[in-house]
Amino acid sequence: MTGPSVRVLVVDDSVVVRRVVQDVLQAERDFEVVATAVDGEAALEVLERLPVDVVILDVEMPRLDGLETLRRLRPRWPSLPVIMFSTLTERGASATLDALALGASDYLTKPTRLQGPDAARAAVADQLVPLVRTWGRIGRRSAAPSAAAAPTPARRPRPDPPSRPSGAGRRRAPISAVLIGSSTGGPSALAEIVPALPATLGVPVLVVQHMPPMFTRMLAERLDQRSALRVVEGAAGTPVRPGTVYVAPGGVHMVANRTREGVRIEVDDGPPEHSVKPAVDVLLRSGVDAWGGEVLTVILTGMGYDGLAGARRVVDAGGVVLAQDEQSSVVWGMPGAVVTAGMAEQVLPLGEVAAAIGRYLERPGVAARP
């Protein structure tokens, strides 16, 4: 990464955590920890007087916790990247999902005490450094000294890269399953799409969101509360039923496995793909194996290119791939890779994805294959 250093503010009430994060980041030539803060009040004071490109924000703190800090921060610094640093607990997972809904850019789970200091430091280095580097590129563009008082400039519209000609109404097979892949920004995107799907959808929906265990269960529970469709976390041996959304459990790959009785959810504890588990590509490969070309795939906001190889397999089988557009994506990595490769039949704003799914499923007289 060239240019000036990424300026980072570390906010955590633990002196040990602050020291570990600061040491890890300062070991990188392109980062500068401009300040540390013990709580949200102190963090907001720092932001008033120092230019910052990325904030690493603890969730649970005394005086002013991470959620309330985010609520106060966002109106004044709407484009400042904020990475939540949460514990791998039910309370931490719930607060992290709340933070993402409030506008947090990303999140990272803290290492557990069982890992030991050296392993914990290595885990922080492996996971935090890439996040800060990616969000630093964005933050450096938005966090000018006057950014606190100035309105955020509108993104300049630009045409999407060429996509495959629309095949709505011209596909060779009915849609028997919808497969969705997402990562950074995905929880908020799913919170818009899934509740907008009708109870009469008539096919199953399988979702891979890059998240650790417990987070995926809570994500499924929250979507279920807001949706006409039933939303559950996928579990090994579960029959795949129309009208149900299955969220891949964190820490394992979710697979659609066709048996003589129909398609069932299976889990695969094999190695990560694209450094993630669950991976979108694993689901898409199994989806083609289970339903052939009768799948509609949607690639939503996220870093990297997980889903690209799977999307190519879907297209080769005769299925349909849709991608979220750049303007509505938090990070246009995963959908951008699919679009650039020419795999996307349509490139859509987030607000139009649910309606597009419905249109592709409108084929009177043809039942979805169980």
- Domain assignment present for residue 157? The answer is no
- Domain assignment present for residue 162? The answer is no
- Domain assignment present for residue 368? The answer is no
pLDDT band at 154 (very low <50, low <70, confident <90, very high): very low
The pair of three-digit structure tokens given for residue 193, joined into one six-digit string? 């799409």
pLDDT of residue 153: 37
135 and 216, same domain (yes or no): no
- Domain assignment present for residue 354? The answer is yes
pLDDT of residue 157: 41
- Domain assignment present for residue 188? The answer is yes
86 and 200, same domain (yes or no): no
How many C-beta atoms lie closer than 10 Å to residue 212's C-beta?
16
CATH of the domain at 208: 3.40.50.180
Please provide the size of the chain in residues.
370
182 and 319, same domain (yes or no): yes
CATH of the domain at 118: 3.40.50.2300
Share of the chain above pLDDT 70, in %: 87
pLDDT band at 141 (very low <50, low <70, confident <90, very high): low
How far apart CA 139 and CA 114 sit, in angstroms, is 34
pLDDT of residue 89: 86
Q: How many separate domains does the chain show?
A: 2
183 and 330, same domain (yes or no): yes
The residue with tokens 């004044």 is 76
301 and 230, same domain (yes or no): yes
191 and 318, same domain (yes or no): yes
Closest of 75, 314, 60, 53 to residue 181, by C-alpha: 314
Q: What is the DSSP letter of 105?
A: -
pLDDT of residue 206: 98
pLDDT of residue 168: 44
pLDDT band at 155 (very low <50, low <70, confident <90, very high): very low
Indicate the residue type of 205: V
Helix (H) or strand (E) run with residue 208 in it: strand 205-209
178-207 confidence digits (pLDDT tens): 999 999 999 999 999 999 999 999 999 999
Residues involved in catalysis: 183, 210, 306
207 and 58, same domain (yes or no): no
Looking at per-residue pLDDT, the higher value among 125 and 192 belongs to: 192
Q: What is the DSSP letter of 344?
A: -
182 and 133, same domain (yes or no): no
pLDDT of residue 48: 97
**Taking the chain, what is the end-to-end CA distance rounded to the nearest angstrom?**
49
- Residue 231's domain spans which residues? 177-361
**120, 142, 164: which is the final residue of a domain?**
142
- Domain assignment present for residue 193? The answer is yes
- Domain assignment present for residue 1? The answer is no
Residue 159, pLDDT > 70, answer no
Contact status, residue 54 vs residue 132, Cβ threshold 8 Å: yes
275 and 225, same domain (yes or no): yes
pTM of the full structure: 0.87
How many C-beta atoms lie closer than 10 Å to residue 159's C-beta?
6
70 and 16, same domain (yes or no): yes
How far apart CA 350 and CA 359 sit, in angstroms, is 15
Phi, psi of 111, rounded to the nearest 5 degrees:
-60, 150
29-66 confidence digits (pLDDT tens): 999 999 999 999 999 999 999 999 999 999 999 999 99
